[in-house]
Structure 1
Amino acid sequence: MDGDDDFGAELVASLDPDSWVWLPGVDYAAGWRAARRTADEVNSLLAACGVDRSQLRAIADTDAHGGALVRLEGALEGWMSLKELLCLAANARGELA
């Protein structure tokens, strides 16, 4: 268990064939390559901001139809670092009270 109170529902959602079945004729590699470029850029930005890759990282992926996806995965410390960075950015833009 991952500490999520709704573990059963999450498990059922992960069994959705649309989320993992590869369809014939879909170019998943092209979507993954596009996602990889963006994930690499995000990881470079996170590193430049002092966020260790072991704490938070962007991961290239594709959806069931070959569309590019970038997922963020990390430990609590990494998410707290991202929260701090987003608060700084919002303050710089005058968007956070």
Structure 2
Amino acid sequence: MDGDDDFGAELAASLDPDSWVWLPGVDYAAGWRVARRTADELNELLALCGVDCSALRAIADTDAQGKPMVRLEGGAEGWLSLEGLLCLAAKAHLKSG
């Protein structure tokens, strides 16, 4: 055990059927293809900014209605890299505005 006594409760709370139940007649593949293109583009941009895909990566997904969704997953190192990039972008935006 990792000392997290509430792990089971957190896991149960995260099992929202609307986020994982597939509905008949919904074209999940079409939504996933759109999300995949977007995730690939984001991963390329992150790589150009020096963020390794093992630290932070975009993952294609769909919601319960088949709409494209892109999730970002990564460890602390990746999130800190993204934070640094967003701070740089915010400063550049403030200077230009």
How many matched pairs? Answer: 95
Say whether residues 1:59 and 2:59 are aligned partners.
Answer: yes
Change (3 A) 1:71 1:87: same
Q: Give the corresponding residue for 2:72.
A: 72
Q: CA deviation at 1:17?
A: 1.2
Aligned residue number for residue 82 of structure 2: 82
Work out the CA distance in 1 between the residues paired with 2:91 and 2:4: 32
Of the structure 1 ranges 76-85 and 3-12, higher mean CA displacement relative to structure 2 is found in 3-12
Whether 1:93 and 2:93 are equivalent positions in the alignment is: yes
* Structure 1 consecutive aligned stretches of length 4 or more whose deviation exceeds 3 Å: 1-10
- CA distance, structure 2, for counterparts of residue 2 and residue 69 of structure 1: 31
- Tell me the equivalent position of 2:41: 41
What RMSD, in angstroms, separates the aligned Cα atoms of the two structures? 2.2
How much has 1:11 moved relative to structure 2? 1.6
Identity of aligned residues (%): 79
The CA distance in 2 between the partners of 1:66 and 1:2, in whole Å, is 35
TM-score of the aligned structures, taking structure 2 as reference length: 0.87
Give me the whole-angstrom Cα distance separating, in 2, the residues matched to 1:87 and 1:74: 18
Q: Please, what TM-score do these two structures have when normalized by structure 1?
A: 0.87
Structure 2 residues without counterparts, runs of 5 or longer:
none
Question: What letter matches 1:72 in structure 2?
Answer: L
Structure 1, gaps ≥5 residues long = none
| Pair 1:2–1:77, CA change in 2 (3 A) | farther
Q: Secondary structure at 2:57's aligned position in 1?
A: strand
